[in-house]
Structure formats: structure tokens, C-alpha cells
């Protein structure tokens, strides 16, 4: 059996490492979002400059209507691409955080199970308490797996919905 102080130190170290991993994942996501926003702002400025030049060269109303339609299509495609990029970054971050959570729960369950077995071996009559705790841990693990499965299914459905909405948005802009 491990000394309680050593066990608490190990748990604290595990919690600290987990917090660092969560922070790294969210900072990486924030960095990706910031980069996307800067790139989008740059592209939007370039596109707006080009559009202004083209509008200044318009000679008749028919050419103006054609230009308006073209600019609307470009803007819708850019908006759809931007929305998809944001969705991809957020989905990836959610998957990373989900994996970290699953790993943390598995590690905690393993640690508590090992500690419980150590206590049960050294204490007369502790088998019942140990069995109850193991049963609770198994039920909790099953519930967490079920919750994670539901979350993955929701993410897959959201991704399908996002792709369909993006395609419809671009299609609508094309027919404008």
C-alpha cells in the first residue's frame, strides 16, 4: 500500500499535468482562431480593394448588376469558408479536450482501483467495501463512455449539418 502523502502528491501532480494539457489545447485553438481572423481580415481587405476598383470601372447598369451578383457570390463563398474553418478548429479542440478527459478519467479509475485493492488486501472485512467501490467505478466508467459516445454522435451530426448548410449557402449565392 502506498503512503497517503505519496498518493496525494501523485494525484496533485496528475491534476497539474491535466490542467497544463487542457491549457495547451485551448491556447493552441485560440492561436489558430487568431491566425484565421488575421488571414481573413487580410483577404477581405484585398477583395474589397479589388471590388472597389472594379466598381469604379463600371460603365452601365447591366454591368453593375453583373458585378453585384459576382461580388455577392464571392462574399457568400468567403463567409462559408470562414464558418467552416471556425467549425473545424472548434471541433478539433473539442475532440482533443474529450480525449484528455477520457484519459484523465481512465487514469483516475485505474489509480483508485489499485488503491482500493491495496486497502482490501490489508484490511480484514474490507472486501465488501472494495467490491462496492469497484462496482461504482465500473458503473461510472460505463456512464462516461455512454456520454462520450453521445457527444461523438452529436459532433458527427453537427459536422454533417454544417457541411450541408455551407453547401446550401454557396449554392444560394450562386443562383442569386
DSSP 51: H
> Which cell numbers in the block locate residue 158?
453537427
CA 131 to chain centre: 37
> Would residue 8 count as lying in a domain?
no
> Would residue 76 count as lying in a domain?
yes
> Would residue 3 count as lying in a domain?
no
Q: What is the helix (H) or strand (E) element at residue 15, kind and residue range? A: helix 4-56
What confidence score (pLDDT) does residue 123 get?
65
- Give CA separation, 165 vs 46, 80, 123, 131, 175, in Å: 26, 9, 61, 51, 15
Q: What is the pLDDT of residues 62-120, one digit of tens each?
A: 999 999 999 998 998 898 889 889 988 988 998 898 888 888 888 877 777 777 666 66
Q: What is the pLDDT of residues 108-153, one digit of tens each?
A: 777 777 776 666 666 666 676 667 767 777 777 777 777 777 777 7
Percent of the chain exceeding pLDDT 90 equals 28
> Would residue 7 count as lying in a domain?
no
Is the pLDDT assigned to residue 27 strictly greater than 90?
yes
> Would residue 10 count as lying in a domain?
no
For residue 176, the SS3 value is coil
Q: How many domains in the chain?
A: 1
> Would residue 2 count as lying in a domain?
no
> Would residue 15 count as lying in a domain?
no
In terms of residue numbers, what domain contains 24? Answer: 20-174
pLDDT, the chain, mean: 82
Is the pLDDT assigned to residue 165 strictly greater than 80?
no
Amino acid at each position: 500500500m502506498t503512503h497517503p502523502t505519496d498518493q496525494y502528491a501523485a494525484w496533485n501532480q496528475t491534476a497539474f499535468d491535466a490542467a497544463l494539457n487542457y491549457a495547451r489545447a485551448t491556447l493552441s485553438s485560440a492561436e489558430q482562431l487568431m491566425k484565421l481572423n488575421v488571414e481573413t481580415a487580410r483577404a477581405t481587405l484585398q477583395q474589397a480593394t479589388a471590388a472597389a476598383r472594379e466598381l469604379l470601372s463600371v460603365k452601365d447598369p447591366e454591368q453593375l448588376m453583373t458585378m453585384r451578383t459576382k461580388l455577392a457570390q464571392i462574399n457568400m463563398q468567403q463567409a462559408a469558408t470562414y464558418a467552416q474553418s471556425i467549425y473545424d478548429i472548434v471541433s478539433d479542440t473539442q475532440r482533443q479536450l474529450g480525449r484528455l478527459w477520457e484519459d484523465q478519467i481512465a487514469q483516475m479509475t485505474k489509480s483508485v482501483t489499485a488503491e482500493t485493492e491495496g486497502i482490501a488486501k490489508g484490511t480484514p472485512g474490507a472486501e465488501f467495501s472494495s467490491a462496492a467501490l469497484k462496482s461504482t467505478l465500473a458503473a461510472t466508467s460505463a456512464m462516461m463512455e455512454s456520454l462520450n459516445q453521445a457527444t461523438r454522435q452529436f459532433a458527427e451530426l453537427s459536422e454533417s449539418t454544417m457541411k450541408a448548410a455551407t453547401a446550401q449557402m454557396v449554392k444560394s449565392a450562386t443562383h442569386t
